[in-house]
């Protein structure tokens, strides 16, 4: 792999790591009892490739993580527990009518993502990944986030 | 077991816990680790990316070590770094260096806070006693032992200490602590941080310290109390993912009692006296970072530093203005970094009874550039790094500092590195410009004949140490090699070095024998009173000359072990020799031929969820400081008795008793005291 490819993937790798922690420290109120995996979705194929490699063998609540590339459609989104909309795939998300997605944690990385219906938004500060989070919007989707994560992020209140 | 046997045992065993460069599939997914990682592969060079792959002898003091150790100042925290000579002169003065002999006023060590240099061209040293950085807001301290000249500029021959403070987004909320103990009346800190809209954050902090004097002096009653107040702030702005900026400022006012030596009367002798000094130290820094692409970034930093000191025999005012630009990018297998810098120093130093300046330098300019290329000869296996720093200063003109390094990764968890580099130390302004009155020399010591008249033979002649503009820059060539191994529960970091330095400034005695001839003539004519009178107008000169060679060599080895999340330990051993090659009639200006050895052992233990014990033991064995060897244990117990409250009890210098860490009293000006055991209590609140 060339260094330039590593340069691009490093940011995705870190963000995949954060998503893993959001999964560990989030509480989904209505997850089905018979779930056999925890599903991380993104419409971005290159992100899913990185995430697959970074999160390989990891588990959330004893469920193996499944990394799935999806299309931004109601059917595809229904299978997700956590959804990451990258800057490269935000257009279809914005064009989608964005109904409230119960039990899906919606994470993005573009400006105004939380105003656009997201729950968590990554940003960079001093070369490091940081995030802002809306606990209120998470709650509407039936998810609560541990204070361990909330205190590290910038809390956005509606 | 002798010390050398103990050292051998440590060699067989094994250094700081260095973070291994992770392949993407092997990232440490702990939330704190992720928050500490740089997104950029090409992060600004003045930030270390991966200590594991750095081709120099680097040690990273982590925030956990700093806070758990119970250190109350940066110099105290630096005591934990294997390979650093950290000698406490008294309750507020320090001598700190690496790979050489630490002196209060010359260290050849570059110290920075977030890349802002604290180097003073007057003394070539740092006023450690007035350096205020809130320890609870330090992200980490990176210590490079040995040559750091390429990335950091001149005068980093012996090492670089970069104190990196936390982004204010990570210090939101209230923090307060208060400490008191056997050496400390009170030391209290307060910080508050918060968001500024959605794109920024800030913190403001203040600090008050009232420290006691030592309990026992050497010949003199100690007077080393400290009264210090400081305040500071930092703002970080992140308008978007491509740009970020920060502005920070800090002001510290100190009143420090100290014992001195100096020639202040007609006896021509060094007199010990007690005085207090008032200092005001201020600094402001602003930085703009721009991420041009995932593989390129640039940084512009500007800063201003002002240090004013006032005491009976010295009035000084030093200011510096720095501007730095750096760009880093990656193109296929080549990483390229380049930068430009400019520094303006303004130095006002009132002549005093024992220091006079030849004048001519009230301001100094320095400017230059650097370029460094890192090329992957074999992907993931072998890297070649070549670079050069070229800069111009007003004292010695253009200087260049090239380097070449090789980094070989035979396996993913092993790194072998080697480097050859040249570094330059520009003379301090004191060496170049000033004349000191030093302890007088007796006639019988310098005159070829003695008279048998005690008033004459034992008369102390006025003696000057003269800096002069023929002092050259010191040029060092360093050969370094290192090996790192990182396993799941343990890590090894070994480095060895050999440095040859030419044009080293030493002191040449010039007794000027001819001046005694008329005095002998008067004596022969029986005019004893006239002869004594004539002696009062004679003087002896000690001149700084750049004609010595110096060899330093040694090794640092650190073994880290972390069998459990709740326990980690570290063992370190450092060895350093300092060997002058002198011409006749000269003697060293800084340090003397000596050998220093250190053993470090640290343990950090968590138990019952709320409890933590941090222990650091150091064995110091060196003949460079005219002191006995000593073994000191610092032991801190932290107890988080409420979710937001922690109590700590810190024992420092345990076992060492009342000991002397610095005994080089031949040096003009400096006077040390006994360092005591101490116990301190601390309460911390975080909301």
The predicted-structure confidence for B618-633, as pLDDT tens digits, reads as follows: 999 999 999 999 999 9
The conformation of residue B167, written as its DSSP 8-state character, comes to P
Those of residues 276-295 in B touching chain A at CB distance below 8 A are 289, 291, 294-295
pLDDT band at B353 (very low <50, low <70, confident <90, very high): confident
DSSP string, B623-642: SSSS---EEEEEEEEEEEEE
Q: Which of B295, B297, B331, B377 to mutate to test the interface with A (most CBs of A within 10 A)?
A: B295
Is the Cβ–Cβ distance between B490 and B559 less than 8 Å? yes
How far is the C-alpha of B570 from the C-alpha of B367, rounded, in Å? 41
The gap between the terminal CA atoms of chain B, to the nearest Å, is 50
Q: What is the mean pLDDT of residues A80-109?
A: 90
In whole angstroms, give the CA distance from residue B576 to residue B84. 10
Cα–Cα distance, B642 to A138 (Å, whole number): 29
CB distance B35–A130 less than 8 Å?
Answer: yes
User: Number of C-alpha atoms within 13 angstroms, CB side, residue B237?
Assistant: 11
Instruction: Compute φ and ψ for A29, nearest 5 degrees.
Output: -70, -30
Residue B39 touches partner A, C-beta closer than 8 Å: yes
Residue numbers in B near A146 (CB within 8 A)? none
DSSP secondary structure letter of residue B107: -
Sheet holding B57-62, edge to edge: B57-62, B138-145, B159-165, B109-113, B116-117
Asked whether residue B149 carries a pLDDT value surpassing 60, the answer given is: no
∠ CA B68-B70-B76, nearest 5°, is: 120
Query: pLDDT at residue B36 above 90?
Result: no
The per-type count for chain A, helices as H runs and strands as E runs, is: 6, 10
Distance from CA of B156 to the nearest CA of A (A): 26
Best residue in B19, B26, B34 for a mutation probing chain A (most A CBs within 10 Å): B34
Q: What is the mean pLDDT of residues B193-210?
A: 94
Tell me if B295 and A3 make a contact (CB, 8 A cut-off).
Answer: yes
Task: Identify which of B200, B212, B146, B7 has the alpha carbon closest to the alpha carbon of residue B673.
Answer: B212
Mean pLDDT of B371-384: 90
Q: For the residues B198-224, what does the mean pLDDT come to?
A: 93
For the residues B151-158, what does the mean pLDDT come to?
Answer: 70
- Position B303 scores a pLDDT of 96
Cβ of A53 and B40 within 8 Å?
no
Quick one: closest CA in B to A157, which residue? B198
Model confidence at B80, pLDDT cuts 50, 70, 90, reads very high
DSSP state of A147: H
What's the complex ipTM?
0.92
Task: Return phi, psi of residue B672, to 5°.
Answer: -110, 170
Please report the pLDDT score of residue B17 as a whole number: 33
How far apart CA A130 and CA B168 sit, in angstroms, is 12
CB A93 within 8 A of CB A85: yes
- C-alpha span between B87 and B79 (Å, rounded): 8
What is the model's pLDDT at position B15?
32
- CA A75 to chain B, closest CA, distance in angstroms equals 30
The distance of B159 to chain A (nearest Cα, Å) reads: 25
User: Which chain A residues have a beta carbon less than 8 Å from that of B333?
Assistant: 2-3
- Going by pLDDT thresholds of 50, 70 and 90, the confidence category of residue B8 is very low
B287 CA: distance to closest CA in chain A (Å): 10
- Mean predicted confidence (pLDDT) in B342-367: 84
Res B348: pLDDT: 85
Residue B10 reports pLDDT greater than 50: no
CB contact under 8 A, B27 and A17: yes
Spell out the residues 6+ positions from residue B115 whose beta carbon is closer than 8 angstroms to its own.
Answer: B46, B162, B285, B287, B301, B324
Percent of chain A past pLDDT 90, that is, above it, reads 63
Q: How far apart are CA A84 and CA A68, in angstroms?
A: 11
Give the mean pLDDT of B202-209: 97
The pLDDT of residue B454: 85
User: Among B337, B492, B467, which Cα is nearest to B415's?
Assistant: B492
Residue A94 has pLDDT above 50, yes or no: yes
How much is the pLDDT for A8?
67
Q: Note the pLDDT of residue B286.
A: 97
Closest residue of B to A133, CA-based?
Answer: B198
Q: Per-residue DSSP letters for A20-47?
A: HHHHHHEEETT--TT---EEEEES-HHH
Report pLDDT digits (tens) over B223-264: 999 999 999 999 999 999 999 999 999 999 999 999 888 888
| In contact, B581 and B550? CB cutoff 8 Å | yes
């Amino acid at each position: 792999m060339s260094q330039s490819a590593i340069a691009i993937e490093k940011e995705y790798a870190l963000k995949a790591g954060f998503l893993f922690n959001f999964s560990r420290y989030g509480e989904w109120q209505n997850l089905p009892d018979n779930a056999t995996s925890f599903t991380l979705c993104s419409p971005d194929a290159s992100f899913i490739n990185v995430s697959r490699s970074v999160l390989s063998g990891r588990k959330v609540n004893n469920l193996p993580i499944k990394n799935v590339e999806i299309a931004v459609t109601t059917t595809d989104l229904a299978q997700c527990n956590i959804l990451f909309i990258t800057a490269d795939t935000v257009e279809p998300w914005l064009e989608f009518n964005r109904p409230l997605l119960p039990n899906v944690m919606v994470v993005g990385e573009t400006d105004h993502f939380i105003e656009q219906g997201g729950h968590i938004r990554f940003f960079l500060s001093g070369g490091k990944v940081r995030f802002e989070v809306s606990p209120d919007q998470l709650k509407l989707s039936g998810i609560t986030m541990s204070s361990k994560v909330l205190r590290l992020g910038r809390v956005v209140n509606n | 077991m002798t010390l050398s046997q103990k050292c051998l045992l440590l060699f067989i065993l094994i250094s700081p816990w260095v973070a291994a460069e992770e392949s993407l599939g092997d990232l440490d997914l702990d939330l704190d680790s992720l928050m500490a990682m740089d997104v950029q592969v090409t992060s600004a060079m003045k930030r270390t990316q991966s200590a594991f792959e750095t081709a120099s002898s680097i040690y990273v003091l982590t925030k956990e070590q700093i806070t758990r150790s119970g250190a109350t100042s940066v110099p105290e925290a630096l005591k934990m770094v294997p390979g650093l000579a950290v000698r406490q002169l008294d309750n507020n003065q320090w001598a700190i260096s690496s790979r050489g002999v630490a002196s209060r006023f010359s260290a050849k060590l570059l110290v920075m806070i977030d890349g802002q240099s604290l180097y003073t061209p007057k003394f070539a040293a740092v006023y450690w006693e007035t350096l205020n950085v809130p320890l609870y807001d330090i992200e980490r301290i990176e210590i490079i032992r040995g040559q750091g000249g390429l990335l950091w500029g001149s005068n980093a021959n012996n090492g670089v200490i970069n104190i990196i403070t936390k982004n204010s987004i990570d210090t939101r909320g209230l923090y307060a602590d208060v400490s008191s103990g056997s050496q400390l009346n009170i030391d209290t800190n307060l910080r508050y941080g918060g968001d500024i809209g959605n794109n920024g954050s800030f913190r403001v902090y203040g600090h008050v310290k009232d420290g006691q004097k030592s309990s026992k002096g050497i010949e003199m009653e100690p007077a080393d109390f400290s009264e210090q107040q400081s305040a500071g702030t930092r703002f970080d702005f992140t308008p978007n993912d491509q740009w970020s900026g920060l502005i920070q400022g800090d002001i510290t006012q100190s009143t420090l009692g100290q014992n001195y030596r100096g020639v202040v009367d007609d006896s021509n002798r060094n007199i010990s006296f007690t005085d207090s000094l008032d200092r005001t130290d201020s600094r402001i820094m602003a930085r703009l970072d721009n991420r041009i692409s995932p593989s390129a970034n640039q940084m512009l930093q500007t800063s201003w530093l002002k240090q004013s000191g006032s005491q009976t025999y010295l009035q000084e005012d030093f200011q510096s203005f720095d501007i730095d630009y750096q760009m880093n990018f990656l193109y296929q297998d080549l990483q390229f970094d380049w930068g430009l810098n400019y520094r303006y120093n303004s130095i006002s130093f009132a002549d005093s009874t024992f220091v006079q300046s030849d004048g001519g330098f009230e301001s100094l300019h320095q400017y230059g550039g650097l370029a460094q290329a890192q090329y992957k000869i074999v992907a993931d296996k072998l890297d070649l790094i070549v670079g050069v720093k070229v800069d111009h200063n007003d004292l010695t003109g253009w200087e260049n500092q090239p380097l070449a390094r090789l980094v070989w990764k035979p396996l993913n968890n092993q790194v072998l590195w080697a480097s050859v580099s040249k570094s330059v130390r520009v003379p301090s302004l004191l060496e170049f410009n000033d004349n000191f009155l030093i302890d007088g020399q007796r006639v019988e010591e310098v005159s070829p004949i003695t008279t048998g008249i005690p008033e004459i033979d034992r008369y102390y002649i006025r003696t000057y140490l003269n800096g002069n503009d023929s002092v050259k820059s010191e040029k060092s060539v360093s050969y370094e090699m290192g090996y790192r191994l990182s396993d799941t529960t343990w890590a090894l970091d070994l480095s060895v070095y050999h440095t040859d330095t030419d044009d080293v400034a030493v002191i040449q005695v010039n007794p000027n024998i001819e001046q005694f001839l008329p005095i002998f003539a008067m004596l022969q004519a029986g005019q004893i009173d006239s002869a004594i009178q004539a002696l009062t107008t004679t003087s002896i000169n000690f001149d700084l000359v750049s004609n010595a060679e110096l060899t330093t060599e040694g090794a640092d080895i650190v073994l880290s072990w972390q069998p459990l999340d709740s326990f980690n330990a570290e063992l370190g051993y450092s060895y350093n020799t300092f060997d002058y090659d002198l011409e006749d009639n000269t003697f060293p200006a800084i340090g003397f031929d000596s050998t220093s050895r250190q053993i470090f052992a640290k343990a950090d233990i968590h138990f019952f969820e709320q409890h933590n014990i941090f222990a650091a033991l150091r064995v110091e064995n060196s003949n460079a400081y005219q002191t006995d060897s000593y073994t000191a244990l610092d032991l801190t117990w932290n107890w988080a008795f409420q979710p937001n409250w922690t109590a700590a009890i810190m024992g420092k210098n345990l076992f060492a008793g009342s000991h002397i860490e610095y005994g080089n009293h031949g040096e003009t000006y400096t006077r040390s005291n006994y360092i005591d055991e101490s116990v301190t209590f601390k309460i911390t609140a975080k909301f």
